[in-house]
Amino acid sequence: MSLFRLVLVFLLINAIHSPILFAETDLLIVGGTEGGCAAAIQAARMGVSKIVLVNDIEWLGGQFSAEALSAVDENSNTTGLAPGVRHQVPIPRSGLFKEAVERIHRINKEKYGHPRPGNTRVNTTVRPADGNRVFHEMIQPYVESGQIEVVSHYYPVEVLKSPDGIVVRGVRFQSTHDPGQQMTVRASLTMDATEWGEVVKLSGAAYEFGPDLKSKYGEPEAPESREEYPLTDMNPITYTMVIVETSEENVIPKPEGYDPKVYDTSPYPRDHNFFYTSRRVIDQYNLEDVRYPDVILLCSPVQDYPFDVLPQNVVEALEADESGASKRNIVEMTRKQREIVFEDARLQSLGLLYWLQTSLHDRMEDKSHSFRRFRLTDEFGTDDRLPWKPYVRESLRLKAMYMMKQQDTMGHEGNSQHFANVMYHDGVACWQFEYDFHPTRREFLDGDSSDPWQAKFRKLRNWGPPFSGRANFPIRSLIPEEVDGLLSAEKNLGYSSIVSSAIRLHDHCMAVGQACGAVAAVALSKKVQPREIPYDLCLIEDVREGLCSVKDEMEPVVLWPFKDVETDHPAFVSINRLAARQALPIEPTEFEFKPDEVATETWKQRVVAKTQPTFEEKVNLEIPEGSLTRGEFAKQWWRAIKELPVKSPTSGDGPDRDNDGILDSEDPLPLDRDNNNRMDHLEE
């Protein structure tokens, strides 16, 4: 048993005499989300010896489990594919996300008879309890080794800082079970992986929320005026529901405030087939190997809960708690106040299930698959059988060293297959999706805030198009603009509201969390603050080295979003490391690397010429000769150069390191003044 655990057990036993627990660690991660778990595992794999992960519930895995988004969201295409090919992802699965999905498939095969038992429009489905199991199993080896301690049922109430208020030194927590029980964890580095950015908010670090106007970041799809886009407007939450088929009727009690008109007149799909098949988790009728009743995820726009203007009953409850609370953005509310909102969101979802079991059932001619025969799953162990938490699409946004903007991330020439307009020099994760807002506006059907309501779209805030390009994520957007000792690892990142709407899928959150864990590991091992890493190319390479490790059967991480280089390709690591260093001649439209094509002499020379500027000094290396594929050449070339010193940027200390007239905080590529910060100028 580790020293931390021994101390914690001793203090718990003696808690009646001392209501404050205390511990010290290298890395403190607050939040058991998918991003937080990925960060903890990655940091442990890179040698961080003491990691404490504090979670307010016992379940781990965020969207996979506690938020019950059981149809795993990863960007995929289901049209125009070859016969027998159901899904295609724009960027190959990699890293801890791929490891998690493969574990899910094994559990599905073992328990339900098929690795993908949902037979639905997403690649992977997972029962929430199985998702929780996956993340506990993934983290367990590092718990057993003593590197990671997981502490459940505590939430942050205070951030400890240095006397000058600049450096985060740890967090004070309060028990969710006993208001009198507190715990203090001091840490060399702290990471916020909570759903609502609670540590960022408590730390005093600057953050943003609500729609960004065009005047702030100049984004093409940003609104012009605050009048129609209030600061309370956010991507809505959804209380998902997981229901299981039975042999008897299971109509739920009519929820408080239920009005069938809300669901009867909804502009979104209201037919039985849509609800039954679009997010099915297990399909016993169409997959002969499946040995389990049908399980369905209900996650529809009809359930979405906007925040712009709240219903009168919620307003009254919030105002009774604190004057003015009902006018705040959800991220500015206290935990108690958010719970008031969540309770109303639960009723909206339960109203949909009741409608499916009554109004829709009554209109069905064929009642063989009626929702009356489905019951809410009991796997959560909650009193109402709903998930532990709502599915959160948008949180507060850390005011980071660099704020990612829509114009950076859009595909070259507007094509989502092309690389993004800007490929950041400190990129450590990859992603691609549409700028995807669910309905953010609440419309009261009879014009009064005490009336029934529906969720509706606002102009400019809807699901795509437009789409992002094949983009990467910079280290700078994990790090506060001013506060040290703190990183962000979930949806509380340094980006605009529009960009946040695209970087929120399961694979995105795990990739960013894993990258954050690697940044933390390098910062701790080199004894530097994270803010030093984005401007030190050697430290960036250390982060990438940790992410691309293939020891112990770990899945390496995609660093450059080529479409056709899978992680099991022999040259995967070499291709990704070269591309991320921008040591390959890549056109903005060249989204396929074609690793198995012949490497022409002309192409080899272009690679050599592109690589040379990345060295500290001019070097003369033998170019690999013979008939080689592009992948083989990349592998041999990377082997030849990977130990050579990386060139230090010829720049100042800021605030405009590359002297291009753009402040570092506004410069997407602050170490390169010659390419005008555009992907399509990299070759010039």
How many C-alpha atoms does 45 have within 13 Å on its Cβ side?
30
Helix (H) or strand (E) segment spanning residue 175: strand 168-175
Please give the pLDDT value at position 684: 40
Amino acid letter, residue 602: T
Domain hosting residue 345, numbered range: 241-376
Would residue 458 count as lying in a domain?
A: no
pLDDT digit string (tens) for 385-406? Answer: 999 999 999 999 999 999 999 9
Would residue 394 count as lying in a domain?
A: no
Mean pLDDT, rounded, of the chain: 92
Long-range CB pairs of 212-219 (<8 Å, 24+ gap) are 212/496, 212/497, 212/498, 216/496, 217/403, 217/405, 217/406, 217/496, 218/405, 218/407, 219/405, 219/406, 219/407, 219/496, 219/498
Please give the pLDDT value at position 5: 56
> Residue 512: helix, strand or coil by DSSP?
helix
Would residue 609 count as lying in a domain?
A: no
CA atoms of 91 and 76, how far apart (whole Å): 9
Please give the pLDDT value at position 413: 92
Sequence-ordered alpha helix ranges (H) in 459-613: 497-500, 506-526, 537-547, 572-580, 601-611
CA atoms of 68 and 508, how far apart (whole Å): 17
pLDDT digit string (tens) for 91-101? Answer: 999 999 999 99
Amino acid letter, residue 320: A
Q: CA 641 → CA 5, 543, 621, 646, 671, distances in Å? A: 44, 17, 8, 10, 22
Please give the pLDDT value at position 381: 96
Please give the pLDDT value at position 10: 44
Tokens 């030849």 correspond to 640
CA atoms of 217 and 127, how far apart (whole Å): 40
Name the domain count of the chain. 1
CB 35 within 8 A of CB 190: no
Would residue 431 count as lying in a domain?
A: no
CB 170 within 8 A of CB 75: no
Please give the pLDDT value at position 681: 52
CA atoms of 237 and 308, how far apart (whole Å): 12
Would residue 146 count as lying in a domain?
A: no
> Residue 559: helix, strand or coil by DSSP?
coil
Would residue 326 count as lying in a domain?
A: yes
CB 104 within 8 A of CB 514: no
For the chain (684 residues), the mean pLDDT of every run of 10, in chain order, is 51 45 95 98 98 98 98 68 54 96 97 93 92 98 97 98 96 96 97 98 98 97 94 98 96 96 89 90 94 95 96 98 98 98 98 96 88 97 97 98 97 94 96 96 92 94 90 98 97 98 96 98 98 95 95 91 96 97 94 96 94 82 92 96 85 84 94 63 45
Would residue 313 count as lying in a domain?
A: yes
Which two tokens mark 573? 């690591």
Tokens 């708690």 correspond to 321
Would residue 444 count as lying in a domain?
A: no
